[in-house]
Amino acid sequence: MQVAFLVAPEGTEQVELTRPWQAVTAAGGTPTLVSTRSGRIQAFHHLDRADSFPVDRTVDAASVADFDALVLPGGVANPDALRMDKGAVSFTASFFETGKPVAAICHAPWLLIEAGVVRGRTLTSWPSLCTDIRNAGGTWVDKQVVVCPQAENTLVTSRRPGDLHAFCKTLVEEFAR
């Protein structure tokens, strides 16, 4: 299974990148770090700089056809930057258009809102996104992990780093279907 991890050049919550990455790898999948710029991305632990990671492919050079699923890590700055990038928004929307599963945690649903894929779906997120999700036509619930299957694809969402165990377990199970 080929899984794209879409992140901005700066601002990803490190644990929300590394734990799902490890889960995909442990399940026999191949994760690929996709970003809006080449080079390295700078991850964070809350507001403090953490590690940097090499970009495997830029969003402009990535094709949805090359991947089986998409993971959107959170952090406040990460999805905020991605939703301002037309290529990142289009790349994300394409997973929904092609019926491929997507998993998003924390603030990552901001990118889903920008991609116009929230309407009619039930999801969770960091609590401050509740109104944004509702205004975009989605149903927000306060649960550790939510799986929203639609005819066209499955969306897995979680609220925060404390939910990573359930998030990783569920995304691996859903991506394997």
Q: Which residues are catalytic?
A: 106-107
- Write the secondary structure of 83-140 as one string of H (helix), E (strand) and C (coil): CCCHHHHHHHHHHHHCCCCEEEECCCHHHHHHCCCCCCCEECCCHHHHHHHHHCCCEE
| Exposure string over 29-48, b if 16+ CB within 10 A, otherwise e | bebbbbbbeeeebbbbeeee
Alpha-carbon gap, residue 158 to 162, rounded angstroms:
9
Contact 147, 154 (CB under 8 A): yes
**137: phi > 0 → left, psi -120 to 50 → alpha, else beta; which?**
left
Contact 93, 117 (CB under 8 A): yes
